[in-house]
Amino acid sequence: MKDTFSRIKEKIMGPLDDELEELPEEDQYLEINPSDTSESKAKIIVKPFIINEFQDIKPALDGLREGYTIALVNIKPLKDKDIVELKRAVNKLKKTCDAIEGDIAGFGEDWIVATPSFAQVHRSEIDVKTAIGEETKDF
């Protein structure tokens, strides 16, 4: 009777632990070749960029397009130099973020953060309404 239940249990749940212990030691482990894993592409990089001229935005855009870089962009040098070029650079950054379904936000007066699609910039409702100049009302 015990053997009958053991056979039924074995068919439903797979081999018993006793059978696993009988396997040679080399069959119990799975070898993974370290060169098969692409660790460099799996890591997320938070990288600072300084924009002195419009052309300096290209490395930030390339990093975002690759999909593994969160760009922290310092726009102060370009803001002090040429506001028209700054607007062009920020618009280019916005369009790239829209194209890759990423997110972009400014923090402080001199920094912009741009993220790929897997990341999102947190915006609290109070901060957003304060930045826009609206009053919070209870409805």
Residue 85 contacts residue 78 (beta carbons within 8 Å): yes
Q: Which domains does the chain have, with CATH numbers?
A: 2-32 (no CATH), 35-132 (3.30.110.150)
pLDDT at residue 52 greater than cutoff 90: yes
Half-sphere exposure of 109 (CA within 13 A, CB side): 4
Angstrom CA distances, 31 to 22, 34, 36, 38, 104, stand at 20, 9, 11, 16, 42
Q: Distance between CA 108 and CA 94 in Å, rounded?
A: 17
Residues 57, 58, 59: CA angle, nearest 5 degrees: 100
User: Structure pTM?
Assistant: 0.60
Average pLDDT over residues 21-28: 57
How would residue 41 be classed by pLDDT, with cut points 50, 70 and 90? low
Average pLDDT over residues 23-37: 62
